[in-house]
Every structure is written in C-alpha cells, then in structure tokens.
Amino acid sequence: MDGRVLAIIERGYRGALEKQFFDELYLATELHRQLGGLDILLRGSAVGYAVDAGPVPAVRLGNRTVDTLTDPRAGLKTLLAAGVGVLVEEPDIATLGAARPLVEGVRLTAAGETAARWIDYRMVVFL
Amino acid sequence: MARQIPHTDVLITLMGAPHASDQVLTALRLTQSLLERGATVQVWTCGYATMLTQRGLGSDKPRNLADWNREYPSTAALVEELLTAWEGRLYWYGCRFCSDDRGAVDHLPQVVLRPPAGYAANVAAADKTLHLGVI
C-alpha cells in the first residue's frame, strides 16, 4: 500500500483504569504495522499526551496497588521508536500552558497546517 | 418486603460510561479515600457503568501483546478487591434495568441489582449523594 495514513486524536484520557495498556495509542501501533505507516496528530485534550511529564502514579484500591494505569507518554515513545510521526497542534498545547517540554521527537504544527496536507495522505482517520 | 438499605455517609452514583473518560478511576479513588478516612460508602452504577462488575470480565484483562507476562486487573477484580477489603463499610448496587438493557446479567456476588424505582431509598440511606457523569 502506498502512502501514509494520518490518525487524528482529539479526545484524550478515556479511562486509565479500565483501559490500562489498551488505549488508542496501542491501537495506533497495530494500525501502523498493518497499514504501512502512520502519522498521528494530537489536538484538543489529547495534546496533554505530548507533554514530557513524570511517570504515571500508582493508585491504591482496597489492599492492592495498581501500577498499570494508562501511560500515554510511554505509548507515544513506542510509536516514535516504530517510525510513527507524532504531531501536536501548537495553539492547543499553548492553551494547555504546560511548563514541561514536549516528549522528544514530537513535532509542533501550526493550526490548519496538517489539515492542508490531508491530500498527501492515503487515508485520514480519527482515533 | 422492600430491601433495607444500610445507612452510609456517602452514596456515589456513577452514571458515566467506562472507556470514555477517567470518571471510573475518579469514582474508585474517591471511594478508597473516603473509606480510608473512616467513612461508609455505597456505589450505585447506572448505564454502561453497570458493566464494570460482570463476572465474565474475569480477574485480568486480555493479554498485552507487547508485554505478554504482565497482568492487568479487570474492573470486576478491582471492585471485588474493594468490597473484600472494606467489607461491611462499602456496598455496591447496580441499576437492574440498565444492566439488563446491556446484557450484563452475571455480576460479582456482592453486587446488588436494584430497580430504578428503588434509587430513592438508596439516596435516603446516605447522608450525602454525589453524581459522577451522565448516562
């Protein structure tokens, strides 16, 4: 199959306890493998994934410690290592106002810049 | 005779669906925190939140292909953990209509399914009611 696929993620944080490893970034890894190349655009609340924050804390429930909550930064790093391009929309990350830097390898894109390039992709999907 | 609902300090009504936001995590963290501070708690699930306690979920999620030997607890296992650890101070109810409507027919034995018309009795049995999410 020729051409890359653009996957847009606009809504982040969809259930860290029930999803754990099985989030949309895990799905993206498989789509990248099956569809022959993926770029990801983070918009909206999902731009928080790109902020290089510390490790995901564990949570105590009953007498059990759950240390397998969803870790979107680990997910992004796995995707980057696999050759997935990760873009984040600059206005949304600016609105977030995070003091921390972006995950290494994530690229900023201006508002509308990626939309203007949809024609270059074989397929555009929302994840 | 109508079921007697044990009095609790707080009733947490979880309306929000799992796999959509972090409301389930918030609800369970809040439950644990209240219990650790000595409060008594009841949880009432509505809508898709009734699916959290299905026995069919087993103790663990399906395997992670990228980390084959790591175990990831199911929501049913975590609710059961809470109910076991805080026996006598935590109660878990589910809306029977919502549960039946979604085909969730086999829950943890500690889960009490209640008719929607019985919800007011749960509210009356709690000093404070919190709603999380929408159905």
pLDDT digits (tens, 9 = 90+) for B89-121: 999 999 999 999 999 999 999 999 999 999 999
Which residues of chain A are within 8 Å of residue B29 when distances are taken between CB atoms?
A: 59, 61
Residue A5: pLDDT over 80: yes
Shortest Cα distance, chain B CAs vs residue A77, angstroms: 13
Mean pLDDT (chain A, rounded): 95
State residue B71's pLDDT score.
Answer: 97
Query: Is any Cβ of chain A less than 8 angstroms from the Cβ of B68?
Result: no
Residue A70: pLDDT over 70: yes
Domain that holds residue A9: 5-126
- How many structural domains compose chain A? 1
State residue A100's pLDDT score.
Answer: 87
State residue A1's pLDDT score.
Answer: 56
State residue A80's pLDDT score.
Answer: 98
Pick A12 or A3 by higher pLDDT. Answer: A12
Chain B residue nearest residue A58, CA to CA: B29
Pick B1 or A120 by higher pLDDT. Answer: A120
Q: Provide the pairing of β-strand A64-66 with A123-126.
A: unpaired
Contact B82 A15 (CB under 8 A): no
Query: Is any Cβ of chain B less than 8 angstroms from the Cβ of A29?
Result: yes
ipTM reported for the complex, 2 dp: 0.95
State residue B1's pLDDT score.
Answer: 54
Query: Is any Cβ of chain A less than 8 angstroms from the Cβ of B85?
Result: yes
Residue A98: pLDDT over 90: no
Which residues of chain A are within 8 Å of residue B72 when distances are taken between CB atoms?
A: 20-21, 68
Query: Is any Cβ of chain A less than 8 angstroms from the Cβ of B132?
Result: no
Residue by residue, what is the 3-state secondary structure of chain A? CCCCEEEEECCCCCCHHHHCCCCHHHHHHHHHHHHCCEEEEECHHHHHHHECCCCCCCEEECCEEECCCCCHHHHHHHHHHCCCEEEEEHHHHHHHCCCCCECCCCEEECCCCCHHHHHHCCEEEEC
Which residues of chain B are within 8 Å of residue A78 when distances are taken between CB atoms?
A: 66
Residue B24: pLDDT over 90: yes
Query: Is any Cβ of chain A less than 8 angstroms from the Cβ of B66?
Result: yes
Contact B73 A60 (CB under 8 A): no
Contact A26 B66 (CB under 8 A): yes
Helix axes A24-35, A72-81, angle to 10 degrees: 10
Domain with A51 in it: what CATH number? 3.40.1260.10
